[in-house]
Chains A and B, each alone.
Chain A
């Protein structure tokens, strides 16, 4: 039986469709449509959410990931009751705070002060509550100097900070956040993430949509991956992200069109003794490549867990012969925990900076050793890593 305590979310067999005919609303088109309906022809629809099921317990954190147009934002709108579902059940219990677009409710002609009162009320606070939080909101948004200036004279970053700051101080039981951190500088993004963590630590349920996978990983225990209106995977964030990254990678491999002049024949990553690589020990990446002509080139080797964000890269410039040759890259200390990783390679011709081999994953390998320290997973992905490497070629 689904829980109905404040802060819980229950979504059961949720479906949502839009009218597919976004055509002209002219009279003759409308008449044709009415005629079609009378003669029994169904109206055309486009399903944007199909059979979505999930539950979030009070204080739970759920990330929604997926490519553009997969239905994430629509799902949040239905959850916030801005839109209505076409079928199924969608319940949120307790006070709901929804931040679907930071700058949407900000009025350019009003001052920052007026906007805080206006937008705060619209988002669900009473005037008195806004007054109580006013100073905190201003301070968080870092706009105290400009608070009585019209918002149209704010930089876009300031506007976003103002909008987020209001929403971040709502005291909701459930907080829905849709891709609002994409704007704003790195500093403020970090501040927002800390604020979100703080809110979550106070027991607020969080539903978070973002393309910033590291942010999702850092804030959400569980995740749902949406593709073309359906749930493809759900579960612990790490596992879902791995699936998602895997799919993106496959897609990237399929769409690589340029014919590389350097071909990859074989990829192998081993430990120093030829066995499987171990964490925190020496590892050897052996790549058998084939080139049409001898040339001087930059070799870039990277290791990632899944998709386009390598954990570390090493590079070296050297001459390579024509024909088949083996590139050996010795990593003195493999700084990654147990898991499945991808090896990336790029070969860039030194003479014309032309990529003889595009930057892409060329193979995968397993690392044995200790598991990752769990909680701040985002930190692991975000942190730049320097790795000492030795290179040779034969």
Chain B
């Protein structure tokens, strides 16, 4: 269908094409199938990890650039939260925990929760908020939500300072079992990454999820053992469902691995217990499942990111 005009027949010459000879669509065997294995995808992200740092740094710098107090806000808002929680919840007797000032107990839960909730809301919006980059650049798309996770890690780390002050004020020292801390962080990070990857990808296609995400954050704050201890689920009796003295914790931790993280962090750091390996194992397994499913959704949907957004 190409006509050689005035050339000597090889590819050096001018070729004129007649579009009318083209079929209406390509033959079915030519269609592009997007199959990416997660390990190779993770390898690609790792090789461009500097982009994650660059995007996070950009957002941190930009969000405090115009503020008179600048980075101080990253410290101020958790401090205010601590004050608020101390004032309100130290008066509610129902949730009190032995040997630990309630404000500390609640604040540790809050930290675990805000890490997830903050990463969810900014990570979920990270791609639709960067449409320019999404459509015009080529680094692995995972960098968008992951950069938000990194940013949230920074804020959470800063928020550890008020925790230290709170402990000093109450004369409370963390227990040596705090050394298990990285384990819980790993579970929380895996779960968070899975959820925000799926959320960020789905939001590109269905913007309604922005609203849904806000509602999840609201409900989650109370559905997760942030202000109440997980032990409340240890011995559940609910006659209409035929439950008599059932331990719901394993089921709940499988559904919501954050519960096992919060319970574990508080148990080790504040109460000096060994981690509850059953609950932690269930939480870790669940977080891994969330991660694989969430990441798979992301990779499946990434084909259309630049088209749809």
Provide the residues of chain A in CB contact with B34, threshold 8 Å. Answer: 84
Q: Does A227 interact with chain B (Cβ within 8 Å)?
A: yes
A122 touches B135 (CB 8 A): no
Complex formed: what's the CA distance from A228 to B307 in Å? 18
Q: Does B306 interact with chain A (Cβ within 8 Å)?
A: yes
Complex formed: what's the CA distance from A85 to B30 in Å? 10
Complex formed: what's the CA distance from A243 to B139 in Å? 37
A98 touches B138 (CB 8 A): yes
B307 touches A101 (CB 8 A): no
Partner of B26, one of A13, A25, A234: A13
Complex formed: what's the CA distance from A317 to B32 in Å? 63
B62 touches A109 (CB 8 A): yes
Interface-facing stretch out of B6-14, B214-222, B244-252? B6-14
A235 touches B26 (CB 8 A): no
Q: Does B297 interact with chain A (Cβ within 8 Å)?
A: no
Interface-facing stretch out of A75-83, A263-271, A295-303? A75-83
Complex formed: what's the CA distance from A234 to B17 in Å? 8
Which residues of A1-46 are within 8 A (CB) of B?
13, 15, 18-19, 25
Q: Does B57 interact with chain A (Cβ within 8 Å)?
A: yes
B139 touches A124 (CB 8 A): yes
Provide the residues of chain B in CB contact with A107, threshold 8 Å. Answer: 58, 62
A50 touches B22 (CB 8 A): yes
B138 touches A96 (CB 8 A): yes
Given A110-B62, A118-B58, A122-B139: A104 touches B132 (CB 8 Å cut-off): yes
Provide the residues of chain A in CB contact with B23, threshold 8 Å. Answer: 51
B65 touches A150 (CB 8 A): yes
Complex formed: what's the CA distance from A110 to B304 in Å? 30
Chain B 117-134 interface 0/1 with A at a Cβ cutoff of 8 Å (1 = within): 000000000000000110
Residue on B nearest A127 in the bound complex, by CB: B50
Q: Does B207 interact with chain A (Cβ within 8 Å)?
A: yes
Complex formed: what's the CA distance from A105 to B58 in Å? 11
Provide the residues of chain B in CB contact with A88, threshold 8 Å. Answer: 26, 30, 32
Provide the residues of chain B in CB contact with A114, threshold 8 Å. Answer: 58, 61
Residue on B nearest A124 in the bound complex, by CB: B139
Provide the residues of chain A in CB contact with B306, threshold 8 Å. Answer: 77, 82-83
Q: Does B79 interact with chain A (Cβ within 8 Å)?
A: no
Provide the residues of chain B in CB contact with A124, threshold 8 Å. Answer: 48, 138-139
Q: Does B51 interact with chain A (Cβ within 8 Å)?
A: yes
Complex formed: what's the CA distance from A85 to B50 in Å? 27
B132 touches A101 (CB 8 A): yes
Q: Does A208 interact with chain B (Cβ within 8 Å)?
A: no
Q: Does B83 interact with chain A (Cβ within 8 Å)?
A: no
Q: What are 16 A-to-B residue pairs whose CB atoms are below 8 Å?
A: A15-B25, A50-B19, A50-B22, A51-B26, A83-B306, A85-B32, A86-B32, A87-B32, A88-B30, A101-B136, A105-B136, A109-B62, A118-B58, A122-B55, A126-B50, A233-B14
Identify the 5 closest CB pairs spanning chains A and B, nearest first: A235-B14, A121-B54, A239-B14, A87-B26, A87-B30
Instruction: Beyond A25-B207, A118-B54, list 19 extra A-B contacts (CB 8 Å).
Output: A25-B206, A51-B26, A81-B138, A82-B137, A83-B306, A86-B32, A88-B26, A98-B137, A100-B135, A101-B132, A104-B133, A109-B65, A110-B62, A118-B55, A122-B137, A127-B50, A227-B19, A235-B12, A239-B6
